């Protein structure tokens, strides 16, 4: 016996004395015990799949900063919706990349009944009625400056934007959208959209509020995906929340709950799990997180370099959302995860 062990066994306290015979490793000793004590599980019901749309027919475009994600023409989106429904994914979230000449200062195309997002909703709903369609009403895909609202003299106009997105919400609901998800962070938008939907008879169309959307640098690849990256002038800090703030996020969500939101969302995801946990604990509402494009890109890039096991990190990151209290996650990994879950 060497001197270290000797010293330990004679004079120092034994581990049993230290732990009082409590040993947490007992429950971790085998796969079956680990399964018995597992607190959170990711299932296919937790997945919402955001997809990108382009005009035209039978085309798919790669997105450089989002390997594995493609922009899809509506017919291709229908195919993916079929695949998603067959995998058991409950819902899609759709984002259009419209022609540049359709974009203007006020995002007029957002109100067109036959615009790309509405055409996609109509076509997908007809072909795959069992999948939920979640549409965003923020104006950024439709404006020539890439902002989520109406821009005048360098300012984003709140009330004018709220009026327009409320009208856009009705047009989207008319096309068959099941849930309206406003991501623009204008004040009063949830109440205004609720009223507009109800007056148009859309009582069953829900609102998933991007309740706490932070002015984040993690959105970069998304802006490439919908073609606003080169257009955006300035930043969105006059309407998105400062990443430094947590109480403000709770106040923001409180207003949305009061105004009639059916579900809350936190965006981005993984760096903001503390916000997810606070919202879930405070409001006990269905709570979602958006694992955004930059989060997706980081995992893909590290995996492509062989620096992490991409599949394991993908699964672990999504489980972390569940642990924090999420009822679901918007993630570009959705079909891949669903396929993996179906295998195991």
Nearest CB to ligand PBG, comparing residues 87 and 181: 181
Binder of ligand PBG out of 49, 52, 142, 219 (CB under 6 A): 219
Q: Is 320 helix (H, G, I), strand (E, B) or coil?
A: helix
152 is catalytic: no
Nearest CB to ligand PBG, comparing residues 292 and 320: 292
Q: CB of residue 210 vs ligand PBG: minimum separation in angstroms?
A: 8
222 touches ligand PBG (CB under 6 A)? yes
| Total of residues contacting ligand PBG (CB under 6 A) | 12
Choices 52-60, 83-91, 170-178, 215-223 (CB under 6 A): range interacting with ligand PBG:
215-223
Instruction: Say if residue 260 is exposed, middle or buried (CB neighbours under 10 Å; 0-12, 13-18, 19+).
Output: middle
What's 144-198 look like in SS3? CCCCCCEEECCEEEHHHHHHHHHHHHHHHHHHCCCEEECCCCCCCHHHHHHHHHH
Binding mask 181-200 for ligand PBG (x = CB under 6 A): --xx----------------
Asked if residues 148 and 236 have their Cβ atoms less than 8 Å apart, the reply is: yes
Give the residue nearest to ligand PBG (CB): 222
**Options 125, 267, 280, 322, the catalytic residue:** 267
Q: How far is CA 42 from CA 30, 93, 132, 277, 290, in A?
A: 20, 19, 19, 17, 15
Neighbouring residues of 316: CB distance < 8 A, sequence distance ≥ 6: none
213 is catalytic: yes
Nearest CB to ligand PBG, comparing residues 37 and 49: 49
Joined tokens for residue 291: 């694992």
Neighbouring residues of 283: CB distance < 8 A, sequence distance ≥ 6: 253, 254, 257, 264
Choices 35-43, 73-81, 218-226, 305-313 (CB under 6 A): range interacting with ligand PBG:
218-226
Q: CB of residue 99 vs ligand PBG: minimum separation in angstroms?
A: 19
Catalytic residue annotation: 213, 267
Please give the residue ranges that form the binding site for ligand PBG (CB under 6 A). 136, 138, 140, 148, 183-184, 219, 222-223, 236, 292-293
């Amino acid at each position: 016996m060497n001197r270290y062990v000797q010293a330990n066994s004679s004079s120092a306290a034994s581990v049993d004395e230290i732990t009082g015979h409590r040993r947490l490793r007992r429950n971790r000793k085998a796969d079956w015990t680990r399964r018995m004590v597992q607190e959170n599980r990711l299932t296919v019901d937790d997945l919402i799949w955001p997809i990108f749309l382009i005009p035209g027919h039978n085309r798919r475009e790669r997105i450089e900063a989002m390997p594995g994600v493609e922009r899809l023409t509506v017919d291709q989106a229908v195919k993916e919706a079929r695949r998603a429904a067959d995998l058991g994914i409950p819902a899609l979230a759709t984002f259009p990349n419209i022609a540049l000449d359709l974009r203007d200062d006020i995002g007029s195309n957002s109100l067109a009944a036959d615009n790309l997002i509405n055409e996609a909703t109509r076509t997908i709903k007809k072909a795959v009625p069992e999948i939920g369609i979640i549409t965003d009403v923020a104006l950024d895909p439709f404006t020539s400056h890439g902002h989520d609202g109406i821009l005048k003299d360098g300012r984003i106009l709140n009330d004018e934007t709220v009026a327009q997105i409320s009208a856009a919400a009705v047009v989207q609901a008319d096309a068959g959208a099941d849930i309206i998800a406003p991501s623009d962070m204008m004040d009063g938008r949830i109440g205004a959209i609720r009223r507009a939907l109800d007056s148009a008879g859309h009582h069953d169309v829900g609102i998933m509020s991007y309740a706490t959307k932070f002015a984040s640098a993690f959105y970069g690849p998304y802006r490439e995906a919908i073609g606003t990256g080169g257009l955006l002038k300035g930043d969105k800090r006059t309407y998105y929340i400062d990443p430094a703030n947590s109480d403000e996020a709770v106040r923001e969500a409180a207003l949305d709950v009061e105004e009639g939101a059916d579900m809350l969302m936190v965006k981005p995801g993984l760096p903001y799990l503390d916000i997810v946990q606070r919202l879930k604990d405070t409001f006990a509402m269905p709570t979602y997180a958006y694992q955004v494009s930059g989060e997706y890109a980081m995992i893909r890039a590290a995996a492509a370099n062989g620096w992490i096991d991409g599949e394991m990190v993908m699964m672990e990151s999504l489980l972390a959302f569940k642990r924090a209290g999420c009822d679901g996650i918007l993630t570009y990994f959705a079909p891949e995860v669903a396929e993996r879950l179906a295998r195991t």
